[in-house]
Amino acid sequence: MKSSVELEGFENEIIEVDPRGLFRNASIFINGSPASTKKKGEFVLKRNDGAEVVAKAKQSFFYDAPSIQIEGKTIKIIKPLAWYQYLLSSVLIIFVFLIGEWLIFTLGSELGTGTSFAKGLIVSVIGGLVAAFIGIEFINANIRIFHSKMRQPLKYLAVFAISCALPVLYFPMVWLLFMFCCFN
């Protein structure tokens, strides 16, 4: 999700910032082309007067509200979310994963008493890692929805729909993990 920014000295250029993701770093684009990099997280931008300046892409909380730092000035690209939007982005997901972790622990303990404690521990650890990965991605998706250009009611509906889709994906994965470890 690229965000445009207007910078002093770059009036004739279209500068966009693409915030980092789970597997990629932040990028800065000039007129649709990636800016040249000086080193990781630093980009070289050419102003209208021909001078080259170094811009650093900065990230704030989680994947939210990227900013860039140019010549000692920090420029916010998008407004950070309100506290209640963070809460709505994560509360249902955290609740589902608490139930899921309880389920994994319960299944893992049952499995541990029937066969080996090591298998029960493996089920719990793998389930927890899967939960953490999926949870981070779902929270990230919700935060990106709140930053999108959708109308406000649609944003809240989309976040609710994504949060409700989570158990449909997560609990069958826990069950399959349990069955796989139980019969192998």
Q: For residue 56, what are the domain limits?
A: 3-76
Q: Are residues 169 and 88 in the same domain?
A: yes
The pLDDT score that the predictor gives to residue 152 is: 92
List per-residue pLDDT tens for the chain, 184 residues long.
677 777 777 777 888 877 666 566 677 888 888 888 877 778 888 888 878 888 887 766 555 667 778 888 888 777 778 889 888 888 777 776 777 667 666 665 665 555 566 666 676 777 777 777 787 888 888 888 888 889 999 999 999 888 888 777 777 877 777 677 666 5
Angle between helices 83-114 and 152-182 (to 10 degrees): 10
Cα 155 to Cα 61: distance, rounded to the nearest angstrom:
20
Q: Are residues 98 and 116 in the same domain?
A: yes
Q: Are residues 94 and 64 in the same domain?
A: no
Give the burial class of 169: count Cβ atoms within 10 A of its Cβ; 0-12 exposed, 13-18 middle, 19 or more buried: exposed
CB 43 within 8 A of CB 55: yes
How many domains in the chain? 2
pTM given for the model:
0.66
